[in-house]
Structures are given as C-alpha cells and as structure tokens.
Structure 1
Amino acid sequence: MTAPRMTQYAGGGGCACKLPPGELDELVAALAGSAPANPAAELLVGLDGGGDDAAVVRLDSERALVTTADFFTPVVDDPYDWGRIAAANALSDVYAMGGTPWAAVNLLAWPRETLPLEVAAEVLRGGRDVAHAAGCQVSGGHSITDAEPKYGMSVVGLVHPDRMLRVDAAVPGSALTLTKPLGSGVLNSRHKATGTVFAEAVEVMAALNRDASRAAVEGGIPAGTDVTGFGLLGHAYKLARASGVTLAVDAAAVPYLADARQALADGYVSGGTRRNLQWVAPHVEFGSAPESERLLLADAQTSGGLLLTGEIPGHPVIGEVLPPGPSPVVVR
C-alpha cells in the first residue's frame, strides 16, 4: 500500500496558511486595549505590544506564565516529520519570548473518512518526541473531524518578568541576528508540487529554538521574535514598528537553505509569500534589491529561527538596529 502524501490533503501548507498579515492587523485591532473588569493576573504582554509571539501574565516577581497556540496543515508528506515540525513551531513561540515550555496539549483536526487514524498516531508521535526533547510535558488535547488535516499544540511555559524577549524593546546600535536559514517556504512549495524531499529543510524546521533563546536571555538581549509565516521582512517590520526603530537588513548576509534559490527560480512561490511582499513593501526601502531577493526575504517560513537584536555565537549577524528613519525596514 502506497503511503498517503499528506500535503495533497491541504489547500496550503505550514505557516503559509496564515491569514494575510494586513487582514490580521485589522482583525485584532478591535481587541487591543480590552481587558477584563477584574483581571486575575497582570498582563505583561498582549495585543497592545504590537503583535508579540505569545501572551504573558505575571505570577509573582520572578515568574510569569507564557501561553500560546499554533497549528497548521501538512507542510511535508511524512506524518511523523509533520508532527515534529508542528511541535517545534508551537514551542518556538515560548522560546521567542525568552521562556521555557513546561506543558502542552495537542490540537488535531482529521479527515477520518479518508486518512487512517494510524497516520494521525504518527503525527502525534512526532509532536510528542519533539516536545519531550524540549523537556515539555504533553498530555491530551482536543480533536475534531475536518476535511483538511491540521495539527499543532497549545503550550504553556515560564519566563522571568524582567528577562523577556519582546517585539517592542529593540534599541538602536544593536546587531541583528538570525538563527535559522530562510527558504523553507519555497522548498515546501516544491515538495508539495513534486514530492521531492529536502532533508536539510525538514531538520531545520524540526529543530528547537531553545539554545538560541537561552543564549539571548543570558546575553541580556531585550528584543526578538521568531520568523514564521510573515517572512523575514514581515516579522522585521512588526519588530521595528513596535519598537519605534529602523531595522537594516544586509541581504548578502542572510543565510538560505540549499536549493532555495533554485526553487524560487523555478517558480515555487506560495501565495502567502506574495501576500507578505505586497503587505510589507510600502514599509521597506529595497534599494537595488531585485524581485527575486525581495520574494526570498518575504518567503513564508514554517518553524523558522529567531530574529534577535544582539549577537549570538554561532549565528550570522544580518544587519543592525538603527534610529527611526523614513522606512521601518531597509534592505542594503
């Protein structure tokens, strides 16, 4: 029996399935500033911060609770690898805040009439294995029947209130570091269309952002975010907008997965990537960067790395934080 190709059961794939960033901005704008009449805990990070990676509430002077949820349709055909990638992506929201994930529950939507539950079990096994590698408990969750398979996690973690990474704390004069190469979007699009497996991309997407997050916190870095569905440019713009600074990106210093440029040249560009570029273009000074470079910088990533305002040993510096200028993001 031929194993089912998971990506063929979904209209999109991975974080490229996110709502377009401009539409999402409008959707959440009405919620910003709202709060319960008698909150049980102080909200340290919410919608008012410019769209951070997770919500954070204070428990006491040394502990704050980080909570997030993330799920998406299949980004690769192998169900175990899809589970690994989806779990790493959900855990990344906690790492992007400088926190440590402690507990997670599964979120699963499954077309039970067309895909065996044995395949779902492999997805859950992949998620569990990555969460356990992170030292995070996994117990139960929620499942529904759906025409498209979807998987992810809701994750709870802890962070010190005074040692968080957040999008509104970037300071001019800091280096800009990226901890994973770009290109998963175009390679996933090629994989979906052709079935070609890109092993490097799978392992990069399944890798945890734990070590980079710890190094950032230990190094006193105040600001960062993870690079996912809105691409490097989209997440850089959100960080610059929230912090009131300009981020300068040196295009030649940005690392890419092998075969990413060829996949782009061959036309494997997702609709999510094109929407990213359309949304962010008015806020970016591109200089002489060609259209191909702009698309790669806007490529919709799945389980990407951290974009940090400081240097992390072993990871490339791709630019710097500047005082606010005419454009929130500058490509040099």
Structure 2
Amino acid sequence: MRATVYHNKFDVRIDQVPDPQIKEPTDAIIRVTHACICGSDLWPYRGLDQYQEGWRLGHEFMGIVEEVGKEVKTVKKGDRVISPFTFSDGSCEFCHKGLYTSCIHGGFWGGANNDGGQAEAMRVPLADGTLVVVPPETSNDEKLLKSILPLTDVMGTGHHAAVAAGVRQGSTAAIVGDGAVGLCGVLAAKRLGASRIIMLGHQPERLKIAKEFGATDIVEARGDDAVKQVQEMTKGGADATLECVGTKAAMDMAIDITRPGGGVGYVGAPHGSEQLNFSRLFLHNISMRGGIAPVRAYLPVLLKDVLAGKLDPAPVLNMTVDLEGYLLAMLLWISARPSR
C-alpha cells in the first residue's frame, strides 16, 4: 500500500510500504478514507523536529474498519470510525481522568514504530479505547464527513485551549494564532459562551473565517503594538487567552494580553518557548493550563454537536487532494505559512 514517509528535510515521499496486519488481539485495521495535514507536520518537514528517514507521518484520520482482533468489542468490520491523534487503552488511571494523551499503554501515530494516518490503511492498537464509531447514516455525506474530520485534532485542540484558559459565559477571549487550531479556538470560545472574541493573526483568508466563526474583533498588529491594542480595547486584557502557536513570541504575547486573574490556555507545540515571563504571571495571578489536548475525551460531545448541526469546523479545510497530491499541498501550505 502507499503511505507518506519522511526521508529528509523538505523530502517527504509517497512510498510503497507493507500492508498493516493484526499483531495484537486488541488491534483493528482501518482503511483510511479521510486524513489531514497538520500544522505540526511542517516542523519535521522543515527540519525543525528530529525526524529520521523511514518514519511515517499523519495523525488526523478516519476510515472504515476492515478487520478487528479477537478481543475488540466496541467496533466491528464495516464501521466508520474517527480517531484522535493518539491511541489509548481507555482503562488506565489517566484515561479514567480524561487524560488520554498520558495513557500508560498509549502512544502517538507515525514516527518510528506506528503507522501514520496519511496512508491507504493502518493498524490501530487498542482499538476499543481509541476509536469512536460515527453513525452509519453519515457514511455517504461528504459535507458532514468534512465537518467531522477536524475533530481528530484541531477542533479538539482548540476546545482544550478554551477549556484550559477558563472561557466562560460572558467572558472576553483572545486567540493568538490564526491557524486551524486558532480558528477552532474561536468556535470553542463561542460554544462556551464568550461574549467577546478577539483574534490575533495576519492571514486575510483565515481572518475572514475567524469572523464567520464568531470573532468579534480582529487584531492584525504584531508584537508590542498588538499587546497595546488588546490591552486598550479590553481595558486591561482578556479574561481568557488561547495560545495556539507554540513559539516564544506567541507565548509571550498570550501572557501579556491576559487580564490580571485571568488564564492562558496553551496548546501550541513548544518550539523555543521554554523561557516565559513568570514575573507577569506571578505579579498578576495569571494562571497557565494546557498542553497536548486529550482529544479522545472531547470527541463524543463535539461529535454530537456536529451531528446536530450546532458546530461546523469544516471551513478550516480549504484544499482536498489524494495521496499523489500530498506533496503539492505541503508546498502550497508552507509557502503560505511563513515561519514566525
């Protein structure tokens, strides 16, 4: 079968790889029907993550179950399923707390040892604790499936940022970063009841989507000018700030625009953001919560809202290609997404 494989910086190929097989009785084999390219895939593509030749890519996918191990009970052959970007057993201490990304038996898609979602098929370990069955009536509804696909990562991650930041009914939320996660953070903030939603970004097409998703204010300034603008328009800062980039500049900005006593929900994968302004956090009792999103915990409720027509993150997906078009999509994306 075909799959995306990392070879070197700026060298990702569609290679022939062995077909996946059941290795453990808790495995399932999935025929992948839909997958995404994540912003975090750009880090190894640019050579900024320590990927090695032969490692697989892709962690946002859904598909049809082709085969299950003898101990799998919650999914069966023919089911359409959606997966979070990590796998988990659903039964350990941390899974019971909703922290599926810390599952003691779990792991991440792709890399050296696991199949990646940007492929024709893949082996899913711990299928019962990982996969969520999508109602069969959605199987031929491409519009609805496009709305469901972002739940694999970016919608759940944006939601995690909003929850961690403490977005509440009537609060003011600010979102740092206009990528897919930031845009989904706008949806999440609106869903949780924020009355004012400030998007900080620079890409006109994305800012247009942010407004459609519910952003009430747009800040296109950068650096200190952006901080000053948010501080002035909110008379002291946002109640809740969603940091959706991961760089030091983005993290500093998130801290600087948060109101005393407010919170920062950080979900951007850290790249150079290890040194933070702890003085401001300390002096103004600003809390920081977040980290890698336990998307599996959020999948059922977010899926319910999508199926009910209450939530639609589909506009964050603006290009559709097959596997052969993958490299073109990567090149177009990286040209439109300059390094911060």
**TM-score, structure 2 normalization:** 0.28
Please say which structure displays the higher CA radius of gyration.
Answer: 2
**TM-score, structure 1 normalization:** 0.29
